[in-house]
Amino acid sequence: MDTLLAPLASPLPSCLEPHRFWIWLQMVAWRLYVRAVKGKGIPFMTVIDPQGTVYLKWIGHPPHEFPQAPEDPLAFTPSKAFRIALGDLPSAHPGERRPLIPRASDCSSHIAPSAHMATLPAPDT
């Protein structure tokens, strides 16, 4: 038997039983869509919300089969080119000479102490 017209695999909650045919019809439409886009035999997963609407959750391999994402998605590891530009690594071109530019952390020690003590005028509000 072809799986295109197969009945629903899991039992529905009692509130959705009156809409079983329409939910099954949506499942047939999703199966047709997946076959048209990816071909026959591709795994996919659908989700049914409390109103009886069927949504496509994923097509292809289940999400747990993908490589795990890093723990911190905002973690930044500077590349080699970035570290060379900052001066942490020697240049890739041995004959290249760059003038040393003081970093912002180095410049803070050169600010006169009186500049730190200056007060700003009151805002015009």
Question: What are the extents of the domains in the chain?
Answer: 3-63
Angle at 85 between CA 84 and CA 87, to 5 degrees: 65
The whole-model pTM stands at 0.49
Dump pLDDT digits (tens) for 68-120: 665 777 778 888 888 888 888 777 676 666 566 655 555 555 555 555 566 77
Q: Please give the Cα distance from 24 to 6 (Å, whole number).
A: 9
Q: How far apart are CA 16 and CA 76, in angstroms?
A: 47
Residue 125 CA to residue 108 CA, distance in Å, equals 32
Query: Which tens digit of pLDDT belongs to each residue from 2-55?
Result: 788 888 888 888 999 999 999 999 999 999 999 999 988 888 989 999 999 999
Assign 3-state DSSP to the chain and report helix, strand, coil percentages, each to 5.
Answer: 40, 10, 50
Instruction: Give the burial class of 32: count Cβ atoms within 10 A of its Cβ; 0-12 exposed, 13-18 middle, 19 or more buried.
Output: exposed
What is the rounded distance in angstroms from the CA atom of residue 96 to the CA atom of residue 77? 25
Question: Which residues, 6 or more positions from 84, have their beta carbon under 8 angstroms from its beta carbon?
Answer: 90, 91, 92
